[in-house]
Amino acid sequence: MKRLPDPHGALMDAVYRRQRHVYDPLRKLFLFGRDRLLARLDVPPGGRVLEIGCGTARNLIVLHRLRPDARLFGLDASAEMLATAAAKLRRRGLADVILLRQGLAEDVRPATFGLDTPLDAAFDAVFFSYSLTMIGDGRAALDAALAGLKPGGVLAIVDFWDQASWPRRLRRLLQRWLALFHVRFRAEVLEHLERKAEAGQETLHVEPILGRYAFLATCRP
């Protein structure tokens, strides 16, 4: 994969250059709610689904098993993670089924994937799985995702929350550990969606996971 000449892409490559080789077996121990999001994802037959921050393509491979008729696309800033993803797809014979591209969340366009379609008719569903907490401008990433949805499309998110119901010491330990991987919950991301919902621009449902360890959100413009 061609590397992005940008600081965020370089940071993600540095974070995942070694982690990518053990990412899937380790992350299943603490990235809860991913399969719940995938099982609930509302996609019409033959619909297009984009994962922003697709990493090793683990979620897209699971989604292909659930919805083999769907057209699947993955975007990630890290060339290192995409190299692992591409190798996994080749081993499974899915290299021509799931299309991967390198890019930034806030810059996603249909043309990124060779789609000749207006921006607001690109995808039936877009989802983020534990990636928004690593994106510098989460609000811009959300706006780009929403802009790419077809009428009636859905935006789904699962990610770390604020652990507000946890004991303070345990919460601080978890947040310090996550910070080692440049992961930080940003309240303004959910607030951005909440403001849109209050203004009548969308419907929003937010579900806590393990006492606000994480959240699962669905949003329909």
CA dihedral 78, 83, 85, 86 (to 10 degrees): 130
CATH value at residue 68 = 3.40.50.150
Residue count of the chain, please give it: 221
Average pLDDT over residues 107-118: 92
Burial call 162-182: b when 16+ CB within 10 Å, e when fewer? bbeebeeeebeeebeebeeee
pLDDT above 60 (res 108): yes
Q: Domain count of the chain?
A: 1
Note whether residue 142 is domain-resident.
yes
- What is the predicted pLDDT for the residue at 7? 56
Note whether residue 1 is domain-resident.
no
For residue 131, name the pLDDT band (cuts at 50, 70, 90).
Answer: very high
Note whether residue 63 is domain-resident.
yes
Note whether residue 2 is domain-resident.
no
Q: Which domain holds residue 162?
A: 7-220
- Per the listing, tokens 């699947």 go with 72
- Per the listing, tokens 């370089």 go with 10
Note whether residue 62 is domain-resident.
yes
pLDDT above 50 (res 173): yes
